[in-house]
Structure 1
Amino acid sequence: MSWQTYVDDHLMCDIEGTGQHLTSAAIFGTDGTVWAKSASFPEFKPNEIDAIIKEFNEAGQLAPTGLFLGGAKYMVIQGEAGAVIRGKKEAEDLASKKMVKPCVWNLVDEACAPDNDWGKVG
């Protein structure tokens, strides 16, 4: 299975039979390269991705300035140092989960976040 198929069929699918789904999703390499992304994933600047990848290695870098993706600013909220980064912007939540090589990113409208579990990926 390709990474694009994983995004399309597994990340962008119906959430637990609720009829709701993520707003967008992407898988990036830890070097910042895009492995796959949904059509709705925000257009981003390489420096935005670099800053988020750096946060995994040096936790606390984004908290003072915020996390930027597609020019939008997200407030960094509690995550798991080196493993999960969470952000919030109005009624939208962002989660990034670092794995061995890829990072999986989800964007979801908070109305469809089941039990605020949106950041628990893979």
Structure 2
Amino acid sequence: MSSYEDKAYQAAAIIGQDGKVWAQTSNFPQVKVEERIEIMREFDEPGTLTTMGLYLGGTKYVVIGVEPGDVIRATRKGPEGVTIKKTSAALVIGIYYNPGILNSCNAIVEMVGEDLIKQGY
């Protein structure tokens, strides 16, 4: 995902719900424990991050959509955004810097997440 030819996808990671990093690009931000806990809470109790904002590596995003227990989509001023897919054991996260590829980012993150779910993760 991060090697997409137009560099629209800048960072991606798969992080276990326990906080352990399964895979990530070298430039993926360090996710703080509190940030991961708040993201997990949003999946179970949608609404908190919609008012407070979603933080990822200290960067604040505005939540623009939540599918409870499944996907969170958020954006920043300018072209940057993030898509997070929850599986039974992990969070698949993609950060993009081109709003024109929002739907592509959503699709790729969700596809990777669905593949993990099919494999029991």
The number of residue pairs the alignment matches comes to: 108
Unaligned runs of 5+ in 1: 1-10
1:100 equivalent in structure 2: 88
Deviation readout 1:46-94 (Å, 9 max, x if unpaired): 1111111221121112111000111111000113111000110121010
Deviation at 1:27, TM superposition (A): 0.4
Contact 1:20 1:112 in 2 (8 A): no
Partner letter of residue 110 of structure 1? N
Partner residue of 1:80 out of 60, 67, 71: 67
2:114 equivalent in structure 1: none
Tell me, in whole angstroms, the C-alpha distance in 1 between the residues paired with 2:45 and 2:21: 21
State the Cα RMSD in Å: 1.8
Partner letter of residue 105 of structure 1? I
Partner residue of 2:51 out of 26, 46, 64: 64
* 2:34 match: secondary structure: helix
Identical-pair percentage: 35
Tell me, in whole angstroms, the C-alpha distance in 2 between the residues paired with 1:65 and 1:107: 19
Partner letter of residue 95 of structure 2? L
Tell me, in whole angstroms, the C-alpha distance in 1 between the residues paired with 2:6 and 2:51: 36
Tell me, in whole angstroms, the C-alpha distance in 1 between the residues paired with 2:34 and 2:44: 15
Alignment of 1:25-40 (within 5 A): 25-40=12-27
Contact 1:32 1:53 in 2 (8 A): no
TM-score, normalisation: structure 2: 0.78
2:33 equivalent in structure 1: 46
